[in-house]
């Protein structure tokens, strides 16, 4: 099945070539001219004329179905020359199309488009510089779907080579953002190399999707308030973040190492994650003691982020878990997945 699908893609891609299309069109015109010519010159019916045209163009050598007049022979010579020329040109164009890598490029672009159209609840990364590459790498390691937008062809080529879905263009352009599926997206990360681009990207994205979670980069400290007013939920300054990290490494290196491990690890290692409690889930309106996640899934509740924006660290066992509460958990991937399943809305679910 895979081989058949690849062959179909190859044929479809070849037919998109201008040269191959011209050859197909030229062969069609030649068949019509040949059929009409035999009908007019030799007085044959349409079936005989079409049959003679086809065997002449394909040079299969079946011979004449009827004796030809002198005019018919001259016409046949011209038909053979036209057919051989068109077929030769078509074959050379197809070989050149494959040899130059154009077929592979078109097939890859079509597959990327299909992946993009299938995306839901994904992230859009604007800018594939040093910061954008780190964001993309982190998303890829966590198996989070995302699209990269950049106007630089070299950056798009690098992202494509990494296997990422890309859209070339400006992140401030409505059409580019719509092509990246912003209406279906979960969030956007604006990490272009200058603040003006990030401001306009945030402003445009917010206008297209008012439910979008938007994280933006700010180089200049004075730009943070502008980006927030444009519609960003959070603004990150790489310089401020880097300075704080260096200070924390100097004062409490093992804490920083622990946070790095728990935010990046996978598999059986312990990682930090947040899970939202949905309405009518198995955890809704239950106390932490009643839920007993440590026994049920093995995950540990470190903190709660309540719907009213309040943070509660090391919550009491008597704390009631309301819909919309975000659990900050520590556990391995399997434990976190089981907890996330409990937090989803299931009308028939109940705790034992």
SS3 143: coil
Residue 58 has pLDDT above 80, yes or no: no
- pLDDT greater at residue 22 or residue 273: 273
pLDDT in tens, 275-326: 999 988 888 989 999 989 889 999 999 999 999 889 999 999 999 999 999 9
Check residue 10 and give its pLDDT: 54
Quick one: average pLDDT of 190-217?
94
pLDDT in tens, 80-118: 888 888 878 777 776 766 665 555 666 666 777 788 888
Q: How far is residue 345's CA from residue 352's CA, in Å, rounded to a whole number? A: 17
Question: Residue 147: exposed, middle, or buried by beta-carbon count in 10 A (0-12, 13-18, 19+)?
Answer: buried
Q: DSSP letter string over 175-226?
A: HHHHHTTTTT-SEEEE--SSHHHHHHHHHHHHHH-TT-EEEEE-SSTTHHHH
Are 72 and 53 in contact, with CB atoms under 8 Å apart?
no
Q: How far is residue 194's CA from residue 216's CA, in Å, rounded to a whole number? A: 11
Check residue 265 and give its pLDDT: 54
Confidence label for 127 from pLDDT (cuts 50, 70 and 90): very high
Q: How far is residue 204's CA from residue 126's CA, in Å, rounded to a whole number? A: 12
DSSP-based helix, strand, coil % in the chain, nearest 5? 55, 15, 30
pLDDT in tens, 137-193: 989 988 899 999 999 999 998 998 898 999 999 999 999 999 999 999 999 999 998
Quick one: average pLDDT of 67-71?
85
- pLDDT greater at residue 107 or residue 49: 49
Torsion angles phi and psi, residue 238, rounded to 5? -55, -35
| Full set of structural domains in the chain with CATH | 2-103 (1.10.287.70), 120-241 (3.40.50.720), 270-343 (3.30.70.1450)
- CB-based contacts of 254, cutoff 8 Å, min separation 6: none
Enclosing H/E stretch for 55: helix 46-57
Dihedral-angle region of residue 59 (phi above 0 means left; psi in -120 to 50 means alpha; beta otherwise): left
Are 298 and 268 in contact, with CB atoms under 8 Å apart?
no
- pLDDT greater at residue 95 or residue 266: 95
Check residue 348 and give its pLDDT: 46
Torsion angles phi and psi, residue 39, rounded to 5? -65, -40
Please report, rounded to a whole number, the percentage of residues in the chain having pLDDT higher than 70: 85
Residue 349 has pLDDT above 80, yes or no: no
SS3 281: strand
Tell me which long-range contacts 219-227 makes (C-beta under 8 A, separation of at least 24): 219/194, 219/195, 220/195, 223/195, 223/198, 223/199, 226/195, 226/199, 227/190, 227/195, 227/198, 227/199, 227/202
Dihedral-angle region of residue 160 (phi above 0 means left; psi in -120 to 50 means alpha; beta otherwise): alpha
**Of the candidate ranges 105-109, 235-239, 328-332, 340-344, the one whose mean pLDDT is the lowest:** 105-109
């Amino acid at each position: 099945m895979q081989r058949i699908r690849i062959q179909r893609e190859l044929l479809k891609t070849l037919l998109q070539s201008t040269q191959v299309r011209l050859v197909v069109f030229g062969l069609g015109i030649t068949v019509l001219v040949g059929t009409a010519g035999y009908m007019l010159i030799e007085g044959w019916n349409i079936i005989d004329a079409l049959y003679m045209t086809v065997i002449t163009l394909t040079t299969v050598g079946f011979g004449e179905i009827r004796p030809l007049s002198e005019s018919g022979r001259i016409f046949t010579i011209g038909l053979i020359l036209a057919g051989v020329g068109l077929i030769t040109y078509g074959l050379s164009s197809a070989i050149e199309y494959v040899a130059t890598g154009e077929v592979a490029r078109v097939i890859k672009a079509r597959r990327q488009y299909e992946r993009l159209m299938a995306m839901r609840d994904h992230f859009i990364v604007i800018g594939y510089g040093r910061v954008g590459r780190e964001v993309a790498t982190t998303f890829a390691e966590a198996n989070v779907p995302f699209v990269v937008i950049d106007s630089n062809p070299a950056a798009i080529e690098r992202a494509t080579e990494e296997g990422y879905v890309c859209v070339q263009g400006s992140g401030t352009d409505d059409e580019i953002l719509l092509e990246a599926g912003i209406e279906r997206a979960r969030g956007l990360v604006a990490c272009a190399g200058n603040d003006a681009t990030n401001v306009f990207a945030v402003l445009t994205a917010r206008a297209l999707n008012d439910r979008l979670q938007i994280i933006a980069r700010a180089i200049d400290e004075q730009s943070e308030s502008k980006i927030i007013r444009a519609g960003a939920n959070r603004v990150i300054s790489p310089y401020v973040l880097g300075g704080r990290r260096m200070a924390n490494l100097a004062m409490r290196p093992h804490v920083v190492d622990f946070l790095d491990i728990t935010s990046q690890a996978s598999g059986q290692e312990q990682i930090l994650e947040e899970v939202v409690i949905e309405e009518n889930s198995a955890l809704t309106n239950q106390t932490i003691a009643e839920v007993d996640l440590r026994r049920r899934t093995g995950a540990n509740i470190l903190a709660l982020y309540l719907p009213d924006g309040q943070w509660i660290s090391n919550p009491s066992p008597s704390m009631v878990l309301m819909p919309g509460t975000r659990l900050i958990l520590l556990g391995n991937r399997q434990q976190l997945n089981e907890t996330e399943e409990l937090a989803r809305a299931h009308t028939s679910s109940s705790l034992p």
